[in-house]
Amino acid sequence: MVTRVLVPSGVLGLGFDRAALARGVAERPDIIAIDGGSTDSGPFSLGAGQSKYSRAATKSEWRDLMAARAQAGVPLVIGSAGTCGADATVDWMFDITAEIAAETGERLRVARLYSGQPAARVADALQQGRLRPLTPAPEVTPEGVAAMTNIVALAGIEQVQAALGTGADIVICGRTTDTAIIAALPIARGEHAGAAWHGAKIAECGALCSTHPTTGVIMVAFDRDGFTVEPMAEAAACTPHSVSAHMLYENADPFILHEPGGHLDVTGARYHALDGRRVRVEGSAWVTAPYSVKLEGARVAGYQTTILAVLREPRYVAGARDWVTRLTAFLHDSIARKLGLGPDAYRIEFRLIGMDAALGPLERRAGDPAEVGVLGIVTAQSQAIAAEIGRLMNPFVLHYPLTEDEELPTFAFPYSPATTDRGALYEFALNHVMMLDDPMSAFRLTVTEVGNATGR
């Protein structure tokens, strides 16, 4: 048997080549699978339970994929819906799906796989020794778990297979591993487990494993011995180099990939070019282990206000680091005197854009910029305090002199008001796995008919 998985893109919202998608549908896939999430942009999405992607863009691309699903007559699966896979973003994706179904007149069976974890479950696992830290892992207490705004577990193939087993036309998953949505059906149909996990890893980001990553669409055909990967865009090609290199993507070990219930070992994998576009891979192995799922949790770490000024006068540009050091000391003193706040109540950070904003003291390349952006970031225990500090900083970020014996300068504010309240700041608070006796014991599955006025 051969199981063909069509992957339209590395993530919903990133875009894909419509002509390539049409070619993929014409190749008669058995399932269409796409990832919906990422932690690349940090903990905000998980902490707030919001998608980082535009709803309109998501709906536009999802409409095309739903049409492709209807044409192919196969299930459509999305993993880590709404960026973070929180229960709220699963429902956000479900609402989009229901809207499209109502607009197109389709009647669809939609399964929702929820990955959200009640704090009490995680705290119980901690007390029972079923919560195990990865490296590095923050210290975790029951009180700390209770303070997290969202906790999700990364589902593996077992949970996705359960959702597919409902006969749903569309499966909207909460947080899953990037590979699980691709590997689930091939393994359920008896294809080679090592090949299924390996091919899923290669295809997780769509055409990123090809010579034209932005085209998006990739097809992976799994069988009992291995897998074959082929890009659907005419201009793209897969090569042994482009395919094998993807094991290094978001993975510290190029040969081992850990997943729920075991790990993938590709030390014995062999990559062969079948022609100028397709690569065949055999020799991958799947090694089983006691079942565990990785947890992700986020909590509020304060509230922020930012301020941005631009230095252009050459002497200030050359002395920007000294100016910021001197200004910071002055602000700490002013905040203590005027607001009565000690240094433990807030944090001020300046980033010099154009000099070392990304790396700070680690930056090794010195240049001669025409101007320097000064981004001030205030973090405090409440938005009101952060905003008050930002307003106190405002006149000094605009006029503070480089030395005491000179006239007050005036810098540039690119917008008014110069301060911006950013709201809650979140931080990741878990880097652990939770041991499970039953893979479905930490997940929840519901099935709903949508479209044709059936409603939710």
pLDDT digits (tens, 9 = 90+) for 96-122: 999 999 999 999 999 999 999 999 999
> Is residue 368 packed enough to be buried (19+ CB in 10 Å), middle (13-18) or exposed (0-12)?
exposed
pLDDT digits (tens, 9 = 90+) for 292-340: 999 999 999 999 999 999 999 999 999 999 999 999 999 999 999 999 9
- Sign, Cα dihedral of 365, 369, 373, 376: positive
What DSSP state is assigned to residue 447? E
CA atoms of 426 and 428, how far apart (whole Å): 7
Q: How confident is the model at residue 454 (pLDDT cuts 50, 70, 90)?
A: very low
pLDDT of 447 reads 98
Whether 455 shows a pLDDT value over 50: the answer reads no
How far apart, in Å, are the Cα atoms of 282 and each of 202, 203, 223, 272, 314? 13, 15, 10, 9, 61
CA atoms of 163 and 152, how far apart (whole Å): 17
69's tokens: 């699903």
What's the count of helices (H) and strands (E) in the chain, helices before strands? Answer: 13, 20
Are 18 and 232 in contact by the 8 Å Cβ rule? The answer is no
Whether 415 shows a pLDDT value over 90: the answer reads yes
Walk across the sheet containing 285-288 and list its strands.
Answer: 256-259, 262-265, 285-288
Q: How confident is the model at residue 249 (pLDDT cuts 50, 70, 90)?
A: confident
pLDDT digits (tens, 9 = 90+) for 344-382: 999 999 999 999 999 988 999 988 999 999 999 999 999
Q: Which residues contact 131 (CB under 8 A, 6 or more apart)?
A: 122, 125, 140, 295, 432, 433, 434, 435
Whether 225 shows a pLDDT value over 50: the answer reads yes
pLDDT digits (tens, 9 = 90+) for 14-26: 888 999 999 999 9
Single pTM value for the model: 0.93
What percent of the chain has pLDDT above 70?
99
